[in-house]
Structure formats: structure tokens, C-alpha cells
Amino acid sequence: MDDDEAPELIDATALPSDSPSVFDSAPHRVPITLITGYLGAGKTTLLNYILREKHGKRVAVIMNGASTSPTALWTSANITHLRIWRLANTHSNFFSPFVAADIEKSLTVNQNGQEVTEWLDVGNGCICCSVKDSGVMAIESLMDRRGSFDYILLETTGLADPGNIAPLFWMDDGLGSSIYLDGIVTLVDAKNILRLLDEPAPEEHAHESHPGPALTIAHLQISHADVVILNKSDLVTAAELEHARQRISSINGAAKIHTTDHGRTPQIEGVVLDLHAYDHLSHLDLQAKGHTHIDPNISTIAITHPAIAASSIARIDAWLRSVLWDSYLPPGDCSSLASADFEIHRLKGILALNDGSFRIIQAVRDVFEIRDAENSRGDMNSADGPDHCKVVLIGRRLGASVTPWQRSLESFLHSDKNRQ
Amino acid sequence: MAMVPANRRCSGLDCENEAGSLQCPTCLKMGTDSFFCSQDCFKRSWNSHKAVHKAKSNFLTNLFPPNVVSEPDPVTGHYNPFPKYSFTGPLRPVYPLSPRRTVPASIPHPDYAIDGIPRSEQKFVGRHKITILDAKEQEAMRKVCRLAREVLDAAAREVKPGTTTDYIDEVVHRACLERDSYPSPLNYVNFPKSVCTSINETICHGIPDQRPLVDGDIINIDVTLFHEGFHGDINETYYVGDKARANPEAVRVVETARECLDNAISLVKPEMLFREPGSVIEKHAKSRNCSVVKSYCGHGVNQLFHTLPNIPHYGRNKAVGTAKPGMCFTIEPMINLGTHRDITWPDDWTSVTTDGSLSAQFEHTLLVTEDGVEVLTARLPDSPGGPVPMPMVNGEKSDEDNQSAQH
């Protein structure tokens, strides 16, 4: 921009509400939803969902700098409430491979016929011992600068492994971040999904060198999903659609699946946004159907256990560390796992304690936490909470049977009692 | 930085007016804030102001346009490169920085010495196993950490009122070269100097410049050496002059930080969870009415300057992993008298407390042994500094023994 005419000054107060001062003790937290799925799987549908349902809300959409231009996509949307940024090359672990910091990326957005250039400020701050990923910090500083948004959508479509990205946004409460991970929404094209799962192109393989059926990016996107939007159902037969649903459900028995048909969408209040998938549990989460093994790679299993004493929580923690960090299932009293090579993608659980209180377990890959169950929204109170513990696991090579897992947890808890 | 001071001045040329909320749109796009009192003033200043837009990517280029830089002192030539920035405390950068120091080619350089990018660290992004060092590698770590301790001690001996942080940088740089070592901070992600010097409200990553130390300051000196393929990382906070040692607030924050590190180290042994030191650190800091900086963590250190594991210094964290014999990592709590929040100067490095309160830090490189821990950067019998007793409020020194162990 090298003109000799001074441009018009901009009134900062005309921008959305003042950003919270850095001196505030409790920053307003904005939910961020990771949108994943293959290109062409239906971003526009999803955006229309959100904008129609959340009319009047301010939605920020952040796209990987490497993805295709979005200008054609947004023209039908109510884009005065939409701000779109490209995230510039950063030292971030989830966007492009490491390149020198460069804040030159920009994006032109059609806004009611006017072209508006929106920048995403990416600092060159120290990455060396920062707790937060620099891409995450860039998004936070965006929120600080541009005022409060109601929702942030982060597009990670294409060939990204959501299991590497989710932990970056699932930050410790103590960090006081202005954003929090609400959940992962995966877009699935009903017409193509079975081919993507079974006959992937070389670049669609997940990076790994295990023998056996290929693990694809599509598998990872479904296994990590909290919500799956099954698009283009009108382009397939009823049987094909059911086939796709079952396959998805077999991979991830905990995700909610929403089918779209001719662009019509069901009531989606609270089912695509406001998921709280990482800090709450609902009954639906725990009604996961497990034990079907349609997919050769990924399955869902559910373990139950009677209510436990509070003193057993440390033992549960140790069991989770073994399973999630060491990929080692402590042997149960009789059965052992056929394959010792499993990999957990997502884990949710509820611990019912003898004193009537609850803890919830959340995990994605090797990051997990056990936290107090909040009783807001009436999710978990002793009246309608379960009277037993339940743990739902989604992952790879979990084995044909839930028994080794069930036995493992039981023995592990029991052996602690014997020791005392 | 979206810091908006209560009375902001117009950025216009020779304009003393207060600015309201009108901003240059180009600056906004670039991620900076330039306020002007009116469109007319903006137009008038345009020719000189637009030079700010031209030079963008390197923070040093912000120094060129005369209306953005304070007038150099006619005698010393010193100036503040960010005169319009809303500093959170009294500390100011004193430029110009001295010319970039060089390291002879005979001393092995880390990969980032060329263009600032630590590529070898990036290979390990994501899930990977933490490096376990064999006996030979552990010996190499022992050696570089011992050298780092020597260099830190040499720098600490220069700490007195009147010494500039640039001079400390010169001492560190020379001491590294004498030990056939590359000063690891130099050009790491384009850090311009060979050591980090962090004064008073500076939490970490302070850049050595022309500011002389003042009686009453506290200064953290953070040294890392790269010797025969391994990095050794250490820092300590020192008191400048008797005034600092007599200041109960300074002593409280410095000694609390020292003790926090000692308490954390006492946990280190095989099977320690990396999420645990944070609890112990936060608990002790709270007991002394101090806060813990959350943004920066301890880190693995070996053939790489910064690698896994990450070790947060605050409690209730989700850090992954368990200590095993042969692992090397740092613990480096940053403790503040006031808020835990940090903000970074426009130089993109210097991290300061958002309320300007004092901050102190201590760091060791640790090796997990079969049954415990070896503090590779331990203090030597003649190491300068060390704990000081809490001064009595009426000025007399307390006789109370300081409980912290001497590492």
C-alpha cells in the first residue's frame, strides 16, 4: 500500500465492544470449534447452519493460509457477522511447517459488495518455552484486538490430524485463555465417505508405518469428532446412507450424527455449537454404542464399573496414564489383549463416587484430565446421574472384545485395595 | 499490543493534542495502534507517518521514522526505541544495541545460527519419545552445564551499580568463546544477543542494552551454552547493591523464586509426573503471597535447546509424561509480587509483568538418575550470589537463617 494519499482514519470505538483489558481477572471466554473433514464435504452447509441458527451472533472463521480461497463460499451467507482471517505462516505446531515469521498474509472478503482486507496479526514472540502454541496465541490476540466474538470456527479441513490440533486448544484453566475448545465437528460427504475409508489415495493415508489396513485421515477425522455432519444425503440411496451412518457410528459410537438433506437442516440449537465437549458430559455421551466392528481400524468400546470410593480416583488416574501415555493395558486377571499395539484417540468417562458426587474424564490422545462434574444444565446430579462408572474409548486396535479392558480396570482397582 | 493508555497523545508530526479513538487503518492492519487527533493532522503527518508502514517485518526497522523514535540523547546517543509504548513499569530499553557479536567458525554452531530457525527442534513436534541420554551423552551434559555455571558466575561477578547489561553480554559472550562454546541464545529465533538479562519487572528474555544497573535493581541473568553438540541452561536472579538486599519486597520475590525451584527439584526422581512440580511451586508461591507466571515452562534440554518435556510451573495442569533415568530438562519458575500476567514489549522478546511488579526467576538443568536427580548446573563453592536473609523493616538485617538449600 504505497499511495500518497492519507487514508481515512478509523474510529476504534466503532469496532465491536471493547476487548477485555489484560488486567481483568476473568477474561470472557469464547468457544472455538474445530471444523474438520475433506474439502468439498460441506463447509457452506455448515456455515449456513450456523448463520441461520445464530443470526445476530458474531462468528469468526479462521482458515489455514494454505487452503483454497473462500470468497466464493460466503456470498450467500449473512457476512456482516462474519470475519474471516487467514492465519499467516507461524511457528505454530498445527499450521504450516516451520517458516520464518511473516505477517504479510491477508484475505479479501466480499462484504456487501465492498472489499475488505482483514489481517491476522501474528507476533514474532518467543516460541521456545511458551506454554501456548503460537497459532493459539495469534487467535487469542485476534480476540483481544477485534473485540468479543460469540463463536470461533477454525477450519482444519484437508489433511490435518485433529488429534494433534485439539490438545493445543484444550488449555489448562490456570492459563486463563480467552478461548476454550468447544469441540470438533467433522463434515462427511455421504457419497464419498466409504471410498475414503476403504480406498484412500496415497496422500489420504495417515502418517504411520503399521501393517494392516490403512488408517486414513478420514478415520482420524471421524474418531475425534464430537459431532458428525453427514452431508449430501440426497445424493445417495437410503441404503447407502444407512451404510455410511453405521460405519461412522461403528468408528465413533459417541459422536452425534446429523444428516443434512437437500440443504435442509434439522433444529441444531446446541448441537453444532455450544458443545462443551471437553468440559462437560451429557447422558448422550455415555450412551455410546460399542462393540460393532464394521471398520477394520477404529472402534468404540464402553467399560462399566460399580461406583467407587474417592480414594480410588488416584488409581483410575494411574490406569489412564498407563493406557494413554504408555499404550499399555495392565493385564486383567484372565484375559489379555490380543494386540498390544492399540492407540486411543478419544476417551470420555464418568466416575460415580460412593458419596454421590461425580467426576468426569476427558481425553484426546495422550492429554487427559479428571475433573469435578459440574451440575449446571442439570447434566449430572445424583437424581439422574448414573449409579456406576462408565468409560467410553475410541481408538485403534482395541480388540474384538471389551472383556480385556473391563478386566484390566477391575483388577487394577482391586489390586490397590489388596495393597492397603 | 492493544494497550490503550488513559491519555493518549496524537502520533501526528509535532502534535501535542490528545488523541481520541481515530486510528490509522494501515497500522491497524499491521497489528499496531497509531492514534491521531484528527483527519487533518493525519493528512499533515502522512508523509512521515507512512514510512512506518514500509518497514514492517523486522522490529528494528521501527526505529527509522523520526517521529516514532525518541530523540537520541545528544551526549550519549541513547534513545528509547518505543517512546509511544505504554510501558507497564519504570523500566525502559536503552538503545542502540551494540553490534552483533560473532562466533568463530571453529566453534560448532547450532542449526539456527544461520537464519534463526531451530529446524532440528521442529522435527519433533507432536507426539514423540523424550530423549534418554546414554552414559556418554550424560557426561557431555555434565560438561556443558558445568561450563554454563562458570559463565554465569563470571557474569554475576560484574553485577554492580553502573554496569550495563550490554557489558554483561560482552562478558558472557567472551566467556563462552573461551570455553569453545556457542552462546545458545544468539540468533535463536533471531534473538539479538548472547544472554538474557531481565531487570525488575522483566519476567524473562530481556535484551542486553545500554542501561546501567542501578542500586536497588534485581537482575536475572540467563545463560545457555552449546558445547560439543549439547546445550546447558541456567539462570539466577541477583541483587544489585545494598539497597536491593535491604528491600523486603525484592528479597521476598527473589528468595521465594529460589525456594520454589528448590522445592520442585526435591520432587525429581524416576516416575515423577511432569505435571507435579507446578503444584509444589504454586503452593509455595501462594504461601509467600506471590504469583506464578503461566506462559513459560520448563523444557527438555539436550542436543536441542528447547524440546520435550514441557513442565508447567503452575498447578492443575495436563502435562503429559513421566520422568525416567537419563532425561534432562529444566525447571525455571518465574515468580511475581503482583499479577501473574505477562505482556511482551514491541521488541517481541522482553516479557514483563502487566502491573509492573517485580519478578524473579531461578533455573537449573536437571538429569534424572536411577534413584533421584543430579543438578548439573549446581552452584560452586565460589559462585557469587546466593540467598540473603529477609531484612527487618526498620533497616536492620534479620538474623534468621534462610532455610533454602544451596544448590
Task: Name the range with the highest mean pLDDT among A261-270, A410-419, B344-353.
Answer: B344-353
Question: pLDDT at position A415, please?
Answer: 82
**Rounded to whole angstroms, how far apart are CA atoms A394 and A364?**
10
Neighbours of B66 (CB within 10 A): 11
**Residues from chain B contacting residue A13 (CB–CB below 8 Å):** 21
Task: Name the range with the highest mean pLDDT among A63-77, A349-363, B152-166.
Answer: B152-166
Question: pLDDT at position A101, please?
Answer: 21
Query: Taken in order B336, B339, B340, B346, is the CA torsion positive or negative?
Result: negative
Domain identity same for B32 and B148: no
Q: Is B124 near chain A, with CB under 8 Å?
A: no
Using DSSP, how many helices (H) and how many strands (E) does chain A show?
9, 15
CATH number at residue A234: 3.40.50.300
- Residue B164 DSSP class: B
Helical H segments across B213-289, by residue range: 241-245, 248-265, 277-287
- Residue B302 DSSP class: S
Domain identity same for A271 and A168: yes
Q: Would you give the distance in Å from CA B230 to the centre of its chain?
A: 21
Residue B295 forms part of a structural domain: yes
Q: How far is B373 from chain A (nearest CA, A)?
A: 22
**Residues from chain B contacting residue A23 (CB–CB below 8 Å):** 339, 341, 354-355
Domain identity same for A322 and A224: no
Burial A288-319 (b: 16+ CB within 10 A, else e): bebeebebebbbbbbbebebbeeebeebbeeb
Helix (H, G, I), strand (E, B) or coil at A352: strand
For residue B168, pLDDT over 80 is answered with yes
Indicate which of B36, B318, B331 best probes the interface with A, i.e. most A CBs within 10 Å of its own CB. B318
Under an 8 A CB cutoff, do B39 and A121 touch? no
A window 239-268, beta carbon within 8 A of B: none
Residue B284 annotated in ligand binding = no
Q: Is B87 near chain A, with CB under 8 Å?
A: no
Residue A195 forms part of a structural domain: yes
Under an 8 A CB cutoff, do A172 and B25 touch? no
Over residues B47-65, the mean pLDDT reads: 58
Each residue's pLDDT tens digit, A50-73: 666 666 677 777 765 444 444 333
For residue B31, pLDDT over 50 is answered with yes
**Residues from chain A contacting residue B318 (CB–CB below 8 Å):** 170, 172, 367-369
Domain identity same for B174 and B46: no
Domain identity same for B136 and B48: no
Residue B407 annotated in ligand binding = no
Question: pLDDT at position B403, please?
Answer: 45
Residue A80 forms part of a structural domain: no
Q: Name the pLDDT band for A411 (thresholds 50, 70, 90).
A: very high
**Residues from chain A contacting residue B193 (CB–CB below 8 Å):** none
Helix (H, G, I), strand (E, B) or coil at B318: coil
Domain identity same for A154 and A260: yes
**What is the CA angle A348-A354-A359, rounded to 5?**
25
Over residues B126-139, the mean pLDDT reads: 88
Domain identity same for A233 and A315: no
Under an 8 A CB cutoff, do A22 and B343 touch? yes
Q: Name the pLDDT band for A408 (thresholds 50, 70, 90).
A: very high
What the block records as the C-alpha cell of A66 is: 494454505
Residue B17 forms part of a structural domain: no
C-alpha closest to that of A221 among A244, A271, A255: A255
Over residues A243-265, the mean pLDDT reads: 83
Residue B250 forms part of a structural domain: yes
**Rounded to whole angstroms, how far apart are CA atoms A152 and A144?**
13
C-alpha closest to that of B88 among B200, B201, B176: B201
B window 141-180, beta carbon within 8 A of A: none
For residue B171, pLDDT over 70 is answered with yes
Q: In sequence order, which residues have a C-beta less than 8 Å from that of residue B282 and are 6 or more positions away?
A: B292, B313, B314, B315
- Residue B48 DSSP class: H
For residue B402, pLDDT over 80 is answered with no
B window 42-71, beta carbon within 8 A of A: 42-43, 46, 50, 53-54, 56-57, 59
Question: pLDDT at position A294, please?
Answer: 80
Top-confidence residue, B190 or A102: B190
A window 104-123, beta carbon within 8 A of B: 104, 106, 117, 119, 121-123
Residue B80 forms part of a structural domain: no
Q: Of A277-286, B29-38, B175-184, where does mean pLDDT reach its minimum?
A: B29-38
Continuous segment of H or E residues that includes residue B172: helix B165-178
Domain identity same for A358 and A402: yes
Q: Is B36 near chain A, with CB under 8 Å?
A: yes
What the block records as the C-alpha cell of B312 is: 508447567
Domain identity same for A256 and A345: no
Tell me how many domains chain B contains.
Answer: 2
Q: Name the pLDDT band for B404 (thresholds 50, 70, 90).
A: very low
Domain identity same for B41 and B181: no
Over residues B29-40, the mean pLDDT reads: 73
Residue B400 forms part of a structural domain: no
Question: pLDDT at position A126, please?
Answer: 46
Residue B217 annotated in ligand binding = no
**Rounded to whole angstroms, how far apart are CA atoms B322 and A257?**
37
Long-range contacts formed by B112-115: CB under 8 A, 24+ apart? B112/B187, B112/B188, B112/B189, B113/B182, B113/B186, B113/B187, B114/B187, B115/A100
Give the rounded percent of residues in chain B with a pLDDT score beyond 70.
87
Q: What is the mean pLDDT of chain A?
A: 73
Domain identity same for B57 and B198: no
Residue showing cell 536427580: B373
- Residue A72 DSSP class: T
Domain identity same for B163 and B46: no
Residue B114 forms part of a structural domain: no
Domain identity same for B361 and B273: yes
Residue A40 forms part of a structural domain: yes
Residue B107 forms part of a structural domain: no
A window 311-340, beta carbon within 8 A of B: 321, 325
C-alpha closest to that of B190 among B124, B123, B118: B118
Choosing from A227, A245, A277, the residue where a domain stops is: A277
Under an 8 A CB cutoff, do A104 and B205 touch? no
**Rounded to whole angstroms, how far apart are CA atoms A140 and A133?**
11
Q: Of A327-336, B362-371, B392-401, where does mean pLDDT reach its minimum?
A: B392-401
Helix (H, G, I), strand (E, B) or coil at B243: helix
Domain identity same for A255 and A365: no
Residue A292 forms part of a structural domain: no
B window 338-357, beta carbon within 8 A of A: 339, 341, 343-344, 348-349, 351, 354-355
**What is the CA angle B114-B120-B121, rounded to 5?**
110
Q: Establish, for the pair of chains A and B, how many residue pairs have beta carbons separated by less than 8 Å.
A: 148
Question: pLDDT at position B123, please?
Answer: 65
Residue B363 annotated in ligand binding = yes
Domain identity same for B135 and B275: yes
Residue B97 forms part of a structural domain: no
Helix (H, G, I), strand (E, B) or coil at A321: helix
**Residues from chain B contacting residue A321 (CB–CB below 8 Å):** 273, 322
Tell me how many domains chain A contains.
Answer: 2
CATH number at residue B231: 3.90.230.10
Query: Taken in order A9, A10, A13, A14, is the CA torsion positive or negative?
Result: positive
Provide the pairing of β-strand B182-183 with B202-204.
unpaired
Domain identity same for A271 and A303: no
Task: Name the range with the highest mean pLDDT among A52-61, A188-197, A228-237, B282-291.
Answer: B282-291
ipTM above 0.90, yes or no: no
Domain identity same for A232 and A364: no
Domain identity same for A163 and A243: yes
Under an 8 A CB cutoff, do B26 and A23 touch? no
**Residues from chain A contacting residue B36 (CB–CB below 8 Å):** 9
Question: pLDDT at position A1, please?
Answer: 40
Residue B222 annotated in ligand binding = yes
Q: How far is A98 from chain B (nearest CA, A)?
A: 7
Question: Which residue range is the domain that position A402 belongs to?
Answer: 298-376+383-414
Q: Name the pLDDT band for A22 (thresholds 50, 70, 90).
A: very low
Question: pLDDT at position B74, please?
Answer: 87
Residue B332 annotated in ligand binding = yes
Under an 8 A CB cutoff, do B59 and A93 touch? no
Question: Which residue range is the domain that position B353 belongs to?
Answer: 119-375
**Residues from chain B contacting residue A361 (CB–CB below 8 Å):** none
Residue A77 forms part of a structural domain: no
Q: Of A1-10, A28-37, A89-98, B204-213, where does mean pLDDT reach its minimum?
A: A89-98
Give the rounded percent of residues in chain A with a pLDDT score beyond 70.
60
Domain identity same for A151 and A247: yes
A window 191-230, beta carbon within 8 A of B: none
Each residue's pLDDT tens digit, B213-270: 999 999 999 999 999 999 999 999 999 999 999 999 999 999 999 999 999 999 999 9
Residue A72 forms part of a structural domain: no
Each residue's pLDDT tens digit, B268-327: 999 999 999 999 999 999 999 999 999 999 999 999 999 999 999 999 999 999 999 999
Q: Name the pLDDT band for A110 (thresholds 50, 70, 90).
A: very low
For residue B145, pLDDT over 90 is answered with yes
Cross-chain CB nearest to B299 (options A22, A123, A129): A129
Q: In sequence order, which residues have a C-beta less than 8 Å from that of residue A91 and are 6 or more positions away?
A: A98, A101, A127, A134, B189
Q: Name the pLDDT band for A232 (thresholds 50, 70, 90).
A: confident
CATH number at residue A355: 3.30.1220.10
What the block records as the C-alpha cell of B52 is: 512506518
Under an 8 A CB cutoff, do A128 and B116 touch? no
Domain identity same for A266 and A313: no
Q: Name the pLDDT band for A277 (thresholds 50, 70, 90).
A: very high
Domain identity same for B161 and B31: no
